[in-house]
Structure 1
Amino acid sequence: MTGKIITVAQQKGGSGKTTLSAGLAMAAVEAGKSVAIIDSDPQGSLGRWFMARHEAGRADGVNFSTASAWGIAFECDKLKADHDLVIVDTPPKVDADLRPAFRASDLIIVPVSASQVDVWATESVLELAEREDRPAMVVLNRARSGTRLATEIGEAISGMPCITADTVISNRVVYAEAMGQGKSVGEAQRTGPAAQEMRALSKEVFKQLGL
């Protein structure tokens, strides 16, 4: 087995990287794929989410690891030998420390919250992805559907040199609630709109990766 590697990256904090990483991981498990997650953010939010799962007896189906920026390549090589998908959550920055994760990746996912500041921050992430010759998918995250701002940000994203996800992740309380409980949105509200959004996004990602 040689699995695929996703790195979730964004220069600006508060973009929802960890929530997206956890959501995609569990959507992949739900789809029958073997999954590993790597937390390379010193804040450790993805690790705390995983430990909440572990303590509640829900850790089956996901392998968890941590790695420093320069240990990412080794950890990814090790995990992709036994997993269909490896997801790397990164700290909110764009510098040389991100290069090893980008180089190891088959796809870089860049969440963008509905603000112009987030759009500006995204440009440097896409530039780094381009320099490393890796495809990047931008996902509009925490959006308020039907607002003029969300429409404007969506238009700005569509003009960037990247893949633009068709699925928009809305600003819903259940995402934060599920993370705090060590759950995915699919587990918190299996048939709710948030779970449907995450499943739809995961299908786009799987198609891009050929999974």
Structure 2
Amino acid sequence: MAGKVITVAQQKGGSGKTTLAAHLALGFRAEGKTVALIDLDPQGSLGRWYVTRFENDEASCEGLEFSTSSAWGISMEVRKMANACDIVIVDTPPKVDSDLRPALRVAHLVVVPVSAGHMDLWATEGVMDLAARENRPILLVMNRTRAGTRLGAEVNEAAKQLGAPVAEAMIAQRVGYAEAMGHGRGALEMRGPAREEIAALVAEVAERLNAG
């Protein structure tokens, strides 16, 4: 396979997986990469985002492919997309079971969003365990952070004790992310600090992919 594969996974719902997957895709495309998105989540939120984007501005989907897959078919779908694109990003359902393992198995890097709450940290351990069984590298991304809060500092410090790398780039709690997603866009396509956040995270993820 030519392209690098990123699987975005988290056991707990509401962690921001789909938002992170979409913004990573747009961030890599802004760097001149061709990107494929694969939606494994039956809720289909990533697919709805892509369709909304396509319907609003077909040209905005240039260099951005999309498909869906089942757990058992993900290996074949990833192989097909990786032969055509530089980066493949897989968005998974919010669960940790045997269905998730094929999506982890095909990944060059497993990205796990962790919202600023202890329950997200507890849920992260299940994903870490499955990724370890598949011998896949993992990167925790602190998501929906609130600067200057005691809870945020506690969760960030606790995440560092889990034994997996924690991205230096953090994604803040911003209304702009949700607003942009609702219109099939990305926050980095608008003015504001979100552009720098996503660019920093993409650079960090790219570095890990290239080192792997």
**TM-score, length-normalised on structure 1?**
0.97
CA distance in 1, matches of 2:170, 2:149: 13
The percentage of aligned residue pairs carrying the same residue is 56
Cα offsets for 1:83-114 (capped at 9, x unmatched): 11000000000000001010000000000000
In the alignment, the residues of structure 1 paired with residue 77 and residue 163 of structure 2 have an alpha-carbon distance, to the nearest angstrom, of 29
SS of the residue 1:69 aligns to: coil
CA distance in 2, matches of 1:153, 1:210: 28
Q: Structure 1 counterpart of 2:155, which letter? A: I
Please give the alpha-carbon distance, in whole angstroms, between the structure 1 residues aligned to 2:195 and 2:48: 21
**1:170 counterpart residue number:** 172
Task: Give the match's secondary structure for 1:100.
Answer: helix
1:49 equivalent in structure 2: 49
Cα offsets for 1:46-97 (capped at 9, x unmatched): 0000001100122111000000111111100111011110000000000000
Give the Cα separation in 2 of the matches to 1:198 and 1:53: 19
Corresponding letter in the other structure for 1:39: D
Partner of 2:100: 98
Is 1:198 the counterpart of 2:193? The answer is: no
Partner of 1:138: 140
- Residue 188 of structure 1: how far off its partner (Å): 2.6
Count, aligned residues: 209
Residue aligned with 2:32, SS: coil
The CA deviation at 1:6 is 0.4
Residue of structure 2 aligned with 1:67, choices 59, 66, 69? 69
Q: How does 1:17-166 map to 2 (within 5 A)?
A: 17-57=17-57, 58-166=60-168
- Indicate the SS of the match to 2:100: helix
Query: Structure 2: which 5+ runs fail to align?
Result: none
Distance across 1 between alignment mates of 2:88 and 2:67: 10
Q: Secondary structure at the match of 1:70?
A: coil
Preserved contact between residue 126 and residue 161 of structure 1 (Cα < 8 Å): no
CA-based RMSD of the aligned residues comes to: 1.0
Amino acid at match of 2:27: A
Write out the 4+ residue segments of structure 1 that deviate beyond 6 Å after TM superposition.
Answer: none
Residue 96 of structure 1 aligns to a residue whose secondary structure is coil
Flag structure 1 segments of 5+ consecutive residues without an equivalent: none
Provide, for residues 158-179 of structure 1, a one-character-per-residue CA deviation record: whole Å limited to 9, x for no partner: 1112111001110000000000
CA distance in 2, matches of 1:129, 1:173: 31
Between the aligned partners of 2:63 and 2:196, the Cα distance in structure 1 is 20
